[in-house]
Amino acid sequence: MNKKPFDQAVSLACDALAGLRENPAGPLPRASHASLERLVNAKAAPIAAAPTSTGSKAERLEALRAEIGDCCKCPHLVKSRSNLVFGVGDPEARLMFVGEAPGADEDLMGEPFVGKAGQLLTKIIEAMGFQRSEVYIANVLKCRPDMPPGESGNRKPRAEEMATCLPFLIRQIEIIEPQCLVALGATAMEGLLGEPVVMRDVRGRWHSFKGIPLMATYHPAYLLRNQSLTEKRKVWEDMLLVLERLGEPISARQRGFFLPK
């Protein structure tokens, strides 16, 4: 089948499926629902399996981004999003940060962690001795979770949404091959591990994700809500463990950050 007409057909199918889910009694008969599901899934299925083993890491990431395209595996998210938020940073990064999902600012700009929480994350990265451009930043979910009509803010991604999107993140990790992963918040950790977690129980010690050392720490948004030195120090202690694992030099000044004077 010619690719362009097929893409157009899939686009129409995604729109129709989103409308059908919003209004099951709409113009399409309900018998079409399963057919539309199969068409959408047929388009999306090769994404997680398509090889990206040739070329530089930057080229392979670009190929993955092209394969994902305007993913419509979750039609309700397609309907509400402004941009798919793929990831940003150095394809050769030794350190990769993983959040849960884009927020409003990220959805508009198409880049992860650019709002207030993202600005704080950048400060943490710089305090570690890196530039933001030297690490890689992505989310488990590539689309902003939709909000109920009339409501603002951000909602937690659903488990099934993260499970659907996780193969994309896995391929990013496989391409980048970071030496360390940092999960920002309990939801990101849940998305990676596939089970609910309590942050106080999982932070401060090493876990593993597909053989890569994984550290969980509080989301920067948590620190914006709770700015006590005690909580800031917990996050910083986690980052010191990451620096040690990476073999990075740690100054006396860095070791003393957020300790009582």
Specify the fold of 62-255: Uracil-DNA Glycosylase, subunit E (3.40.470)
pLDDT of residue 53: 65
**Residue 24 pLDDT greater than 50, yes or no:** no
| This model's pTM is above 0.85 | no
Could you identify the residue written with the tokens 């997680």? 48
Mean pLDDT of 162-184: 97
What confidence tier does 222 reach under pLDDT thresholds 50, 70, 90? very high
Domain ranges (residues) in the chain: 1-49, 62-255
More confident residue, 142 or 11: 142
d(CA 97, CA 147): 25
Tokens of 103: 């927020």
Residue 190: what pLDDT?
Answer: 96
Tens of pLDDT, residues 72-107: 999 999 999 999 999 999 999 999 999 999 999 999
Angle CA 150–165–21, to nearest 5: 45
Kindly state the tokens that stand for 131. Answer: 């530039």
The pLDDT tens digits for 25-61 are: 344 333 333 333 433 343 333 434 444 468 999 999 9
pLDDT value for 170: 97
Q: What is the pLDDT of residues 237-255, one digit of tens each?
A: 999 999 999 999 999 999 9
Tokens of 59: 């080229």
CA angle 170–106–187, rounded 5-degree value:
50
CA dist 57 to 64, 113, 177, Å? 10, 22, 9
Q: What is the pLDDT of residue 16?
A: 43
Query: Of 200, 202, 169, nearest to 97 (Cα)?
Result: 169
Q: Please give the share of the chain, as a percent, with pLDDT higher than 90.
A: 75
